[in-house]
């Protein structure tokens, strides 16, 4: 598997790869706009295979905006119905989707008692089980400084669904990279908001002080997620 996980999503190892670019680091004076990458426009029409991937893109925008705001950065044009009329100095290009062909199925079985004797000992049992399907999902983000006031990255494209978020032009250029990260998670959870939230939190864990390939260990304690880099976690090179 790409990341370790338990049944019912109680814990994960989320591999992340963070890279610092050659641009001036992000500062509190920067103004950031989060833009969805152009491949959002390649999502099939409603009811066609793969059309539900739109949710991962939208969640990537929302969760990235929230995370950057929580880190006390100035984020503009937030939400799904923003006018995209702000004046950013930094663009955060985000992308997230299921990884095709990554699904794996595991069946867990146990012997369930059907009848017991007067002493409470099982006299008849039957085999029961549950089948769990795990699938991998990715999230990537690139923080860039566009060069030139007329740079196309400052212009937002719209989509056929009028979701209102900023969509970046195809094959953007003319920028310097501040930060790039890619993370994956393998889970039986099909809730795209939860999955993307885990990925975004792992990517920006301890930002900007955690560069390179890391594993972020995630657990659920009640409803409060706890993240910590685990020094005993397997290295990405140890996993296939």
Which pLDDT does position 125 carry in this prediction?
74
Measuring CA to CA, how many Å separate 136 from each of 81, 127, 157, 158, 184? 29, 29, 29, 28, 7
| Two structure tokens written together for 79 | 């939400």
| Spatial separation of the C-alpha atoms in residues 100 and 46, rounded to whole Å | 18
Q: Taking the CA of residue 49 as centre, how many other CA atoms within 13 Å lie in the half-sphere pointing to its CB?
A: 1
Residue pLDDT, tens place only, 167-188 = 999 999 999 999 999 999 988 8
Q: Which residues contact 204 (CB under 8 A, 6 or more apart)?
A: 67, 68, 71, 181
Percent of the chain with pLDDT over 70: 83
* 106 backbone dihedrals φ, ψ, rounded to 5°: -125, 135
| Spatial separation of the C-alpha atoms in residues 80 and 59, rounded to whole Å | 10
Q: Which residues contact 29 (CB under 8 A, 6 or more apart)?
A: none
Residue pLDDT, tens place only, 12-69 = 778 899 999 999 999 999 999 999 999 998 888 777 777 778 899 999 999 999 999 9
Which pLDDT does position 6 carry in this prediction?
39
Check whether domain 11-107+135-225 has CATH 3.30.60, yes or no: no
Which pLDDT does position 187 carry in this prediction?
86
pLDDT over 50 at 4, yes or no: no
pTM over 0.95: no
Which pLDDT does position 176 carry in this prediction?
97
DSSP letter for 159, please.
Answer: -
| Spatial separation of the C-alpha atoms in residues 234 and 3, rounded to whole Å | 10
Q: Which residues contact 193 (CB under 8 A, 6 or more apart)?
A: 55, 59, 63
Helix, coil or strand: residue 4:
coil
Helix, coil or strand: residue 76:
strand
Angle between helices 192-203 and 54-70 (to 10 degrees): 40
pLDDT over 80 at 91, yes or no: yes
């Amino acid at each position: 598997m790409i990341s370790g996980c338990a049944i019912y999503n109680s814990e994960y190892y989320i591999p992340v790869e963070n890279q610092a670019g050659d641009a001036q680091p992000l500062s509190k004076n920067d103004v950031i706009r989060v833009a969805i990458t152009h491949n959002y426009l390649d999502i099939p029409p409603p009811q066609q295979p793969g059309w539900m991937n739109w949710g991962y893109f939208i969640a990537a925008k929302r969760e990235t905006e929230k995370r950057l705001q929580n880190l006390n950065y100035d984020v503009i044009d937030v939400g799904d119905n923003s006018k995209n009329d702000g004046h950013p100095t930094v663009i955060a290009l985000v992308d997230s989707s299921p990884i095709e062909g990554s699904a794996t199925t595991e069946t867990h079985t146990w012997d369930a008692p059907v009848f017991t004797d007067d002493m409470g000992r099982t006299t008849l049992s039957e085999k029961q089980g549950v089948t769990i399907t795990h699938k991998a999902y990715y999230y990537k983000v690139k923080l860039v400084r566009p060069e030139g006031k007329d740079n196309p990255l400052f212009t937002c494209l719209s989509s056929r669904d009028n979701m209102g978020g900023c969509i970046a032009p195809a094959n953007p250029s003319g920028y310097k990279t501040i930060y790039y990260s890619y993370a994956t998670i393998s889970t039986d959870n099909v809730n795209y908001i939860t999955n993307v939230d885990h990925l975004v939190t792992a990517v920006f864990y301890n930002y900007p002080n955690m560069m390179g390939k890391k594993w972020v260990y995630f657990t659920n304690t009640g409803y409060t997620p706890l993240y910590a880099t685990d020094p005993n976690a397997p290295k990405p090179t140890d996993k296939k």
